[in-house]
Structure 1
Amino acid sequence: MEDVKDVYISPLPESIYVKPFRLNYTQNGKEKNWDLLEVHDSVAIIVFNITRKVMIFVKQFRPAIYYNSIHPDDRQSKVIDTKKYPASLGIALEMCAGIIDKNKSVEQIAKEEVLEECGYDVPLDKLQRIISYRSGVGVQGSLQTFFYCEVTDDMKTEQGGGVDDEIIEVIEKTIPEIEEMVTSPGPISSPPSCLFALMWFLHYKAPSFTK
């Protein structure tokens, strides 16, 4: 996962994942504009293993985090010095998640993501839909739907770790470790949606597992 080299920055060609554009509008009689990104909506799933009372996370290299760990002066280099800026700077700990890029229900996409990333085969009726919210409201405003599911060791398969060229490591944390994570002064390499989901879990679900 941390074997990253030959890092350099280039202009963005046409992409199937992000589309930059400018929105022009008039507000209170004044002409304005805002630069935006069109991206896919997504799902995110909290996966809690009730056999061993551990939360299932995914760890992966996130180029956006890595890029923002590089000093602006060094971003101008033809090739980024990976000794000065090792790949570990871009490692994130997140919930299981994925974009909605198939003509399927959000529940079906969530089920597939849990299987592909975490290796658990979760029945559709065991996926609890919690809430949908807007993420990246400054530049994208895409919709993410948050699910919760409980799994057992018996539901574990040989899958997991991502598909195609994804490199994902499955990480388990106990409830005390989750509490420590959300109260840490940081910085934490986890998105706000993950921390929100963990706080939700600690408030609504964790008490039943800690009695």
Structure 2
Amino acid sequence: MFKVLGALRRSWCSAAKSGIRNPASCISRIWFGPLPKDSIWIKPGRLHYLESDVEKQVDFIKTIDGVVVLLYNKSREKLIFVRQFRGAVYQGIYSAGSSAMAKGEANLEKFPPEMGVTLELCGGAVDKDKSLKEIAKEEVLEECGYEVPTESLQHVFDYRSGIGTSSSAMTLYYCEVCDDQKVSEGGGVDAENIQVLEMSVEESRKLVQTGARTNGGPSCLLGLLWFFLYKAPKVTT
């Protein structure tokens, strides 16, 4: 794995260093359980349909739509990412190679919590009665600490995530910020523990080189590829 991704291998209980603005949390226990019926985030279902007179079915999960923001700090010529523990990623690695759902206590010696730490773009769920830009603006402030006007959010494109299981609608924005707009350390709200990580353009380019491996979702790679295609030559001159 590239040196630029070394931060993802650090102990999730260690203090943050090298551009990570918020200290890491300490996860001391992980266990698995069944999905409660009253979950507001995920609702499983089955769709039936007829295709060429053949009855078919597909299982799916209904999830909440989201917004993602690719942030570039003009003052320091850095791209801004976030790191956080993602339980879904952890269980995916934990139960890899098995069709059975993981149950009970996780073996943290064999499967340390940092395996579930992701590198992502700033973003969040569309769970408020507000415009997508207003929600994106709030996420930038809450997660990364920048106060930005909605008009500075450039709409990049809309796409679908997890089309085989959830097909949630995603909207990607691009936003350039400066140090003067930094009003807090970010880190999320309520029980969130989000770390802010800055990378140079050249460091970030390694994330999308052939053979690269990251622990984040496709939104990050998609946003970076768009940035290098349309923005990088302009912002680095």
So what's the TM-score if we normalise by structure 2?
0.85
Whether the aligned pair in 1 keeps the contact of 2:33 and 2:103 (CA below 8 Å) is no
Whether the aligned pair in 2 keeps the contact of 1:40 and 1:99 (CA below 8 Å) is yes
- The alignment covers a number of residue pairs equal to 211
Whether the aligned pair in 1 keeps the contact of 2:91 and 2:102 (CA below 8 Å) is no
Amino acid at match of 2:211: P
User: 1:56 and 2:80 equivalent?
Assistant: yes
The equivalent of 1:130 in structure 2 is: 156
**SS of the counterpart of 1:69?**
helix
Q: Which moved more, 1:73-82 or 1:183-192?
A: 73-82
Amino acid at match of 2:112: P
The equivalent of 2:108 in structure 1 is: 82
Which of 199, 203, 211 is 1:173 aligned to?
Answer: 199
Equivalent-residue separation in structure 2 for 1:39 and 1:122 (angstroms):
28
User: 1:28 and 2:57 equivalent?
Assistant: no
User: 1:164 and 2:190 equivalent?
Assistant: yes
Structure 2: where are the runs of 5+ without partners? 1-23
The equivalent of 1:16 in structure 2 is: 40
Give deviations 1:146-181, integer Å, cap 9, x for gaps.
000000000001251000000000000100011111
Structure 1: where are the runs of 5+ without partners? none
Mark the CA change 1:173 to 1:20 in structure 2 (over 3 Å): closer, same or farther.
same
1:76, distance to aligned residue in structure 2 (A): 5.1
Give deviations 1:51-86, integer Å, cap 9, x for gaps.
111001000001111112214579756311111111
Equivalent-residue separation in structure 2 for 1:77 and 1:19 (angstroms):
19
Whether the aligned pair in 1 keeps the contact of 2:77 and 2:236 (CA below 8 Å) is no
Equivalent-residue separation in structure 2 for 1:55 and 1:186 (angstroms):
18
Superposed CA RMSD in Å reads: 1.6
Equivalent-residue separation in structure 2 for 1:42 and 1:178 (angstroms):
23
Percent identical among aligned pairs is 42
The equivalent of 1:3 in structure 2 is: 26
User: 1:104 and 2:109 equivalent?
Assistant: no
Equivalent-residue separation in structure 2 for 1:123 and 1:16 (angstroms):
30
Equivalent-residue separation in structure 2 for 1:5 and 1:77 (angstroms):
17
Whether the aligned pair in 2 keeps the contact of 1:129 and 1:147 (CA below 8 Å) is yes
Q: Which moved more, 1:186-195 or 1:74-83?
A: 74-83
